[in-house]
Amino acid sequence: MEELSAALHKFNQNIVEVSRRVSRDTITCCMTQVILPLLEKIGEIDVRFRCASPMPNEVYFPGMKSSCMNEFELTIILTNLLAAKTFEDGGSHDGSLSCYGRVLPLQSLHQIGDVLVEAGSSQGVVSAHRIRQIFAQLASQAVSFLPVVSGMSVDVSVKEPFTVIKILKATELVIFELVPAFMFLHDWPTSASTWPTEVKGWLSESDIKSVKDAGFYAVALPCSASPLDPSLFRISFSNAEKYLLRPAWLENYKPTAVCRKDSERILRMIRESDKDAFIPVNCYHIKTILLHDCMRWPEHASWLPEKLAERFLDLLRDLILVLENQNLPHFFIRDCNLLRDYNTEQLRAAAGRLRVIYHDIYSSPSTSIRLQCY
């Protein structure tokens, strides 16, 4: 285990952390030079689509997640379209719609007929499809008004369900996938009402309150169980997840903060360099397993740097097990199986490939090609 621990710490420092610093610089440049001006111009063209500017804190831009190296998904919070709204949780009525629901408009200062479902049982609710469509059209118009930045070109396209912004910086291509959403602050979806089912010392009552106060996003992404229903929005708990996985400072462990995300970051970097082996595993699957592992290992001491090898092996092993069992419960909505849309053969094949990676890293960490630092 000592050899594995040393190899993981070296990989984390020399590959993962270096990559994160480069990504932060790239993100900051693209956000300030392109994305934020683009969003501002969208709000000028159609005041209804003014949004909350995702201004950075010391770590990240809110609403952003990394899909892979130089490819990012950014949730755009629409703040001006609806003055008042409510959320109808689809999963509370139909298990196949777990993690999805509908946005019901209660009040608006604008004409909103063109963003509502026009017919059928969902008539009058906000159409996620129309929101995506209009946002993409506005982005295509807005890009022509952006000032020219030396050494940088910008292209806007649509790759349903995303509005895709391709930014070419010299020879470096950076891709942002934008998706509009509504924020439900201090609100909590019905299908997540039983969370948490247990606490185990990781979460205090204050933590639980903070998570639920953070609310959720209703993101304009289609539902695979009902792809022709334009009214469905996907529930996202990204703010709550960031809060739960924040670094912790221990009184008797001062040098650095205890970070539960180190094992996840390493595994994601390995996935980045060997994508074919991980198909169909995505970053959110890995994060969800990490959250479940946090419940199993609630004490901060279990996530100290000297425990990195154990936590990494747990994470990779648990990923293999959920693929074999074809069941990965959503951390907040336990009735939602995040693997329900994948076929058995695909999942079992992925599990087999990851077992090979597990054995390679466990048996020969210092020589494993997955942990090389060149």
Provide the pairing of β-strand 248-250 with 253-258.
Answer: antiparallel
Q: Answer yes or no: is 333 within a domain.
A: yes
User: How far is 21 from 11, CA to CA, in rounded Å?
Assistant: 14
Alpha-carbon Rg for the chain in angstroms = 21
> Is residue 102 included in any domain, yes or no?
no
Count up the domains in the chain and report the number: 1
Identify the pLDDT of residue 56. Answer: 53
pLDDT bin (cut points 50, 70, 90) of residue 59 is very low
314-343 per-position pLDDT tens digit: 999 999 999 999 999 999 999 999 999 999
Task: With respect to residue 109, please indicate whether it lies within any of the assigned structural domains.
Answer: no
CA angle 347, 352, 358 (to 5 degrees): 120
Q: How far apart are CA 218 and CA 179, in angstroms?
A: 11
Is there a domain that residue 118 lies in? no
pLDDT score at 58: 43
Domain contains 135 = yes
CATH code of the domain covering residue 291: 1.10.1410.40
In a domain, 329, yes or no: yes
**Domain enclosing residue 140, as ranges:** 2-81+130-371
Residue 281 lies in a domain: yes
Average pLDDT estimate for 85-97: 90
Spatial distance between the Cα atoms of 266 and 314, rounded to a whole number of angstroms: 13
Answer whether 268's CB lies under 8 Å from 281's CB: no
**b or e along 247-261 (b: 16 or more beta carbons within 10 Å of the residue's beta carbon)?**
eeeeeeeeeeebbbb
- Is 327 within the bounds of a domain? yes
Distances (CA, A) of 217 to 9, 182, 221, 282: 35, 6, 11, 20
